[in-house]
Chain A
């Protein structure tokens, strides 16, 4: 049996999305920048996709910029907004201490370019307290960036409240909402979001396509230049199959949101209750309450995350870990570190991320596999 519980890493393409994309490979293959009929037909579909996306996130159609994914979107927004709005009086950006590496690295790039970069801490629940942003923000701040949902622990931040603080100090607000679909209803205008990033493959769309939503009132310096596509904000031939797939996937995600949330919450709760009862010495990392219902990040005492992962993998259960041994730089998860997790627990965590295609049978199998794995590895652990 194969049970995929790594949906926060990527998801399987929904067959309905695949079907929508198909014509754009061999029939509707025109370049949306060409002015002949085949090209203009593609252009019309591009605009329709933008309309669809903007409606789903409560934004303007011309604010939807398609990118190669969220890494590019985050690079464009963090670097592009900071660089385009820098002045003698404004030279600072603020991000949270648990952002995705692509936001972290973009911020570090700006620090090397002379910007002041501040990091908002999180509490032991993995949540940002508003007062922490208030301590750091000032009139010098150009941009505040806080992810809506954390990729490792699934915690949800109060985006609207954070955006309000940013605006009160004359700063713009960006949220990396990659893990938020469809768990949060996104409404950029209502929530005060100037910039937002999405990635299609996190919600059953194709890999290689994402969205940078931008408030077009704000200057943004493009990071990929060339043929002037996307109003000059992102050059490169429009990836029509991907764009069509993204729009369709996003629409399906929100159309089926209520049913999906009910299902995934029930499965997750069942899973958590069961293993809490049946496996001793484990602990949930991050708030259970302010967390997306697809995520469980669990610390299994006395054993190492990569070993748990490999043992489960052998049994066909696919998960993820933030342990040092799993990383190419041999460093444990900075997200868990930021939460103040004891260093003895840093390497014992497993992330289970559920999704649309999971069912109870798979969860039951996972529980059995997990029990055996934990028991085996603990049987020769030197710690206890």
Chain B
């Protein structure tokens, strides 16, 4: 089996950025992969709609750790609206590619971050304006009030 991690992936695995917890996070989510058993926890601190700080914990392989490291680096400072849309393809590209059987790690990282953002949005006061509902299946348990998931159309997609 070929398992050619790029240097950047290895660097992010060996010296991952943003590992740890945030006390009293504004958003938190745990995500797991039923197939491979990996798990990621994301913690968010949000200020004025922007991600002020983001951290993660990982039970997972080298690429699980590396993808979460790179993703958190990229979305730090972004508006939550933009961060929510950060595509997994960009995570893979940032790492200079991932082995085929490891691409799902980047999908999981991105999904986990979205889930943490949804958790944050849930706790926000009702945003009245144009509530364009874009969310799909987000947080568990409580039924989600749509207005909390409002995302602005003009959300920038650039990094």
Q: Tell whether B79 is near chain A: CB-to-CB under 8 Å.
A: no
Pick out which of these stretches binds chain A: B52-60, B87-95, B127-135, B140-148. B52-60
Chain B window 22-53, contacts with chain A (Cβ cutoff 8 Å), 1 for yes, 0 for no:
00000000100001111111000000000000
Q: Tell whether B14 is near chain A: CB-to-CB under 8 Å.
A: yes
Top 5 A-B pairs ranked by shortest CB distance?
A325-B61, A382-B57, A306-B61, A380-B19, A382-B41
Q: Closest Cβ of chain A: how far from B46's Cβ, in Å?
A: 21
| Contact present for A306 and B62 (CB under 8 Å) | yes
| Contact present for B14 and A304 (CB under 8 Å) | no
Residues of B with C-beta under 8 A to A381: 57-59
Chain A window 306-340, contacts with chain B (Cβ cutoff 8 Å), 1 for yes, 0 for no:
11001100100000000111111010100000000
Residues of A with C-beta under 8 A to B5: 310
Q: Tell whether A346 is near chain B: CB-to-CB under 8 Å.
A: yes
Within 8 Å by CB of B37, from A307, A311, A314, A324, lies A324
Known A-B contacts A314-B14, A325-B36, A380-B20; the reply to A304 vs B101 at CB < 8 A is no
Q: Which residue of B lies closest to A314 (CB)?
A: B14
Cα–Cα, bound, A305→B62 (Å): 10
Residues of A with C-beta under 8 A to B37: 304, 323-325, 332, 343, 346-347
Q: Is the interface of B mostly helix, strand, loop or mixed?
A: mixed
Q: Tell whether A26 is near chain B: CB-to-CB under 8 Å.
A: no
Residues of B with C-beta under 8 A to A1: none
Instruction: Name A's B-contacting residues (CB within 8 A).
Output: 302-307, 310-311, 314, 323-328, 330, 332, 343, 346-347, 379-383
Q: Which residue of A lies closest to B2 (CB)?
A: A328
Q: Which residue of B lies closest to A347 (CB)?
A: B37
Residues of A with C-beta under 8 A to B63: 325
Q: Which residue of B lies closest to A383 (CB)?
A: B59
| Contact present for A307 and B30 (CB under 8 Å) | no
Q: Closest Cβ of chain B: how far from A123's Cβ, in Å?
A: 24
Q: Tell whether B78 is near chain A: CB-to-CB under 8 Å.
A: no
Residues of B with C-beta under 8 A to A330: 35-36, 101
Known A-B contacts A307-B13, A330-B35, A347-B36; the reply to A380 vs B58 at CB < 8 A is yes
Q: Closest Cβ of chain B: how far from A302's Cβ, in Å?
A: 7
Would you list 20 pairs from A and B whose C-beta atoms are within 8 A, ordered by A residue? A304-B59, A304-B60, A307-B60, A307-B65, A310-B5, A310-B10, A310-B61, A311-B14, A314-B14, A324-B37, A325-B38, A328-B1, A347-B37, A347-B38, A380-B19, A380-B56, A382-B30, A382-B41, A382-B58, A382-B59
Residues of A with C-beta under 8 A to B64: 304, 307, 325
Interface residues in B, total, Cβ within 8 A? 27
Within 8 Å by CB of B19, from A314, A325, A346, A379, lies A379
Q: Closest Cβ of chain A: how far from B5's Cβ, in Å?
A: 8
Cα–Cα, bound, A303→B59 (Å): 6
Q: Closest Cβ of chain B: how far from A157's Cβ, in Å?
A: 28
Residues of B with C-beta under 8 A to A382: 30, 39-41, 57-59
Residue from A310, A324, A343, A347 having most chain B Cβ neighbours under 10 A:
A310
Within 8 Å by CB of B61, from A304, A343, A380, A383, lies A304
| Contact present for A302 and B59 (CB under 8 Å) | yes
Residues of A with C-beta under 8 A to B62: 306-307, 310-311
Cα–Cα, bound, A332→B33 (Å): 13
Q: Closest Cβ of chain A: how far from B22's Cβ, in Å?
A: 13
Residues of B with C-beta under 8 A to A380: 16, 19-20, 56-58, 65
Q: Closest Cβ of chain A: how far from B65's Cβ, in Å?
A: 6
Q: Closest Cβ of chain B: how far from A195's Cβ, in Å?
A: 30
Residues of B with C-beta under 8 A to A332: 37
Given contact pairs A305-B61, A325-B64, enumerate 8 new A-B contacts (beta carbons under 8 Å): A302-B59, A304-B64, A310-B10, A311-B14, A324-B36, A325-B36, A325-B60, A330-B36
Q: Which residue of B lies closest to A302 (CB)?
A: B59
Q: Closest Cβ of chain B: how far from A126's Cβ, in Å?
A: 21
Chain B window 69-85, contacts with chain A (Cβ cutoff 8 Å), 1 for yes, 0 for no:
00000000000000000
Q: Closest Cβ of chain B: how far from A144's Cβ, in Å?
A: 31
| Contact present for B57 and A304 (CB under 8 Å) | no
Q: Which residue of B lies closest to A346 (CB)?
A: B37
Cα–Cα, bound, A239→B118 (Å): 64
Cα–Cα, bound, A381→B41 (Å): 9
Residue from B14, B16, B61 having most chain A Cβ neighbours under 10 A:
B61
Within 8 Å by CB of B38, from A302, A304, A379, lies A304
Cα–Cα, bound, A303→B61 (Å): 9
Cα–Cα, bound, A182→B36 (Å): 36
Cα–Cα, bound, A252→B30 (Å): 54
Cα–Cα, bound, A332→B36 (Å): 7
Residues of A with C-beta under 8 A to B16: 380
Residues of B with C-beta under 8 A to A343: 37
Residue from B13, B16, B19, B59 having most chain A Cβ neighbours under 10 A:
B59
Q: Closest Cβ of chain A: how far from B15's Cβ, in Å?
A: 10
Q: Which residue of B lies closest to A343 (CB)?
A: B37
Q: Closest Cβ of chain A: how far from B44's Cβ, in Å?
A: 15
